[in-house]
Amino acid sequence: MSVAAVLTAAGSGARLGHRLPKALVPLGGEPLLLHAARRLLEARTTTDDDRVTTLVVTAPADHVDAVRALLGHLGGDVVVVRGGATRQASVAAALEVLAAREGVDVVLVHDAARPLVPPALVARVVEAVRAGHVAVVPGLPVTDTVKQVGAAGLGDGPVVQPVLRTVPRADLRAVQTPQGFDLATLLRAHAHGAGVAHDEALAASDDAGLVELLGEPVGVVEGHEDAAKITTARDLAVAELLLRDARTAPLEAL
């Protein structure tokens, strides 16, 4: 049995304000997508048996050939498919490929917008699924005070929304990717939620949410700050600093 990964890279990334789709925006001279793919493939569990052997990448409709060319040198079983109208639809398209593969029993779903995910975090998610958890997500404790608010009232001046309650943050986690699943469970979850997959307003924002709708348990393992998502130009600038520090750290240690 083997581990496969779905790498979602079909989004436009409009909030990043770049002419390229987000996954193809350069970070340290290379596209975000390439950083993320390498880190998935570099991950090794403690037994070294459960590494990612199949990678299915969802690409923007107009950039499928470019993505194939970009990843061609990685070798191994790398498949590029055309992404859908939503993230959920894109993952469903990738799962069709994996459903036809023999021997895949664990699948990771990772966003190319998280290019600096540590391989050790990838391995931690795989190990948790192998331990018997059908769905596992990495998460970080929420450090900000969180308020639930209501609809803004009418009137002059700044928009003001009423606070309904302060949400206790001790039990809150900011969820990251890769999310890991028993493949059969994730296939069932996507089949169950297929009716809204192409509706941006209703489609699931993550795959664990679809599993929750089945009534199946979802577990959380410790995440990592380096797995932060790139959404804005500021996020990209921070990632550039992190990558630069990672590349120069060995030299500084000598």
One-letter amino acid of 38 = R
Alpha-helix residue ranges (DSSP H) falling in 175-232 = 183-192, 207-213
Contact between 58 and 10 (Cβ < 8 Å)? yes
Predicted pLDDT at 113: 97
Of 253 and 100, the one with more pLDDT? 100
pLDDT reported for residue 250? 56
pLDDT given for residue 206 in this prediction = 95
Structure tokens belonging to residue 116: 């600096």
The per-residue pLDDT for range 58-109, each reduced to its tens digit, is 999 999 999 999 999 998 899 999 999 999 999 999 999 999 999 999 999 9
Give the three-state DSSP class for 192: helix
Joined together, the tokens standing for residue 95 give: 């799962």
Averaged pLDDT for residues 215-238: 97
Q: Any idea which of 93-107, 147-161, 210-224 has the lowest mean pLDDT? A: 147-161
Task: Please report, for the chain, the start and end positions of each structural domain, with discontinuous segments joined by +.
Answer: 2-141+170-253
In the predicted model, is pLDDT for residue 251 greater than 70?
no
Query: What letter represents residue 53's amino acid?
Result: T
Calculate Rg over the CA atoms of the chain: 19
pLDDT digits (tens, 9 = 90+) for 236-247: 999 999 999 988
CA gap 88, 95 in Å, rounded: 11
pLDDT at 252 over 90: no
Classify the phi-psi angles of 206: left when phi > 0, otherwise alpha if psi is within -120 to 50, otherwise beta: beta
Residue 173, token pair as written in the block? 């986690």
Strand ranges, E, within 29-186: 30-31, 52-59, 77-82, 104-111, 135-141, 146-149, 163-167, 173-175, 179-182
Q: How far apart are CA 35 and CA 39, in angstroms?
A: 6
206 within 8 A of 175, measured Cβ to Cβ: yes
Quick one: CA torsion of 136, 140, 145, 151, rounded to 10 degrees? -40
Q: With bands split at pLDDT 50, 70 and 90, how would you rate the model's confidence at 253?
A: very low
Q: Average per-residue pLDDT in the chain?
A: 93
- Looking at the domain that runs over 2-141+170-253, which CATH code has it been given? 3.90.550.10
